């Protein structure tokens, strides 16, 4: 068996089947621990018993493991600009590095947008998927209109730009498909207004409300 302990308290966090993780990259273990602890792999640091850090691409050995849960660092204006640029370009490698700081995927910039909004709008499927793994709020609102509860979500933005693949990813992640904005727009309205027939068809097949 492979045991994981808190590096702070010494408390046993998990007992894992060694055969499932030994010889594999530590990232695999972190992803599993995320399901147990609610702490995404980007907020985890693993160490061996002799306090040597086990990085994501390191191979897990048979020793017990120590886990540190990291607090988010506030990105600030420059940090958010870097994150939004990564998502706009779908630069998944650069985004991975920023999330490891760790950056809060739900932090909003001066425009009221999260990183997920930028990824959805530009069709950055890889970045959207990575942000969801980092526990980005799939239904977070763009607060630029002044209302934190009725601004467009990432799904609205993806539909508005005809980003079918992103729409599919967001719905699979449980996005609220009938959410309305301050102007009463649903994702279906967003896609229909811009003539994105494939997105409209997909949303209809996904069971959106037609008369909302």
> ∠ CA 81-84-90 to the nearest 5 degrees?
140
Per-residue pLDDT of the chain (212 residues; tens, 9 = 90+): 899 999 999 999 999 999 999 999 999 999 999 999 999 999 999 999 899 999 999 999 878 999 999 999 888 889 999 999 999 999 999 999 999 999 999 999 988 999 999 999 999 999 999 999 999 999 999 865 555 557 899 999 999 999 999 999 999 999 999 999 988 999 999 999 999 999 999 999 999 998 76
Q: Which tokens sit at 146?
A: 């002044």
Cross-strand partners of 6? 67
> Helices in 60-163 by DSSP H: which ranges?
76-89, 92-99, 115-122, 125-133, 154-160
Report how far residue 137's alpha carbon sits from residue 150's, in angstroms, rounded to the nearest whole number.
15
Instruction: Give every CB contact of residue 212 below 8 A, 6+ residues apart in sequence.
Output: 178, 180, 186, 188
Sheet with 53-54, strands from edge to edge, namely 12-16, 2-6, 65-69, 44-48, 53-54
Q: Which tokens sit at 60?
A: 């897990």
- What is the C-alpha end-to-end distance of the chain, expressed in Å? 53
Report how far residue 51's alpha carbon sits from residue 18's, in angstroms, rounded to the nearest whole number.
20
Tell me, what's the pLDDT at 55?
94
């Amino acid at each position: 068996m492979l045991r994981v302990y808190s590096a702070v308290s010494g408390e046993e966090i998990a007992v894992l089947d060694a055969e499932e993780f030994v010889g594999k990259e530590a990232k695999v273990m972190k992803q599993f621990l995320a399901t147990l602890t609610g702490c995404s792999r980007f907020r985890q640091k693993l160490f061996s018993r002799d306090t040597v850090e086990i990085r994501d691409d390191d191979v897990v050995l048979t020793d017990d493991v120590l886990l540190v849960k990291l607090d988010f660092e506030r990105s600030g204006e420059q940090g958010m600009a870097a994150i939004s640029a990564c998502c706009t370009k779908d630069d998944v490698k650069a985004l991975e590095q920023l999330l490891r700081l760790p950056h809060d995927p739900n932090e909003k910039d001066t425009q009221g947008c999260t990183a997920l909004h930028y990824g959805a709008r530009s069709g950055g499927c890889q970045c959207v998927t990575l942000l969801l793994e980092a526990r980005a709020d799939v239904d977070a609102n763009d607060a630029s209109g002044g209302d934190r509860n009725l601004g467009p979500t990432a799904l609205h933005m993806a539909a508005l730009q005809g980003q079918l693949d992103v729409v599919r990813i967001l719905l699979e992640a449980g996005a609220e498909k009938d959410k309305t904005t301050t102007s009463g727009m649903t994702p279906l309205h967003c896609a229909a207004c811009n003539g994105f027939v494939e997105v409209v068809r997909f949303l209809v097949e996904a069971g959106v409300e037609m008369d909302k």
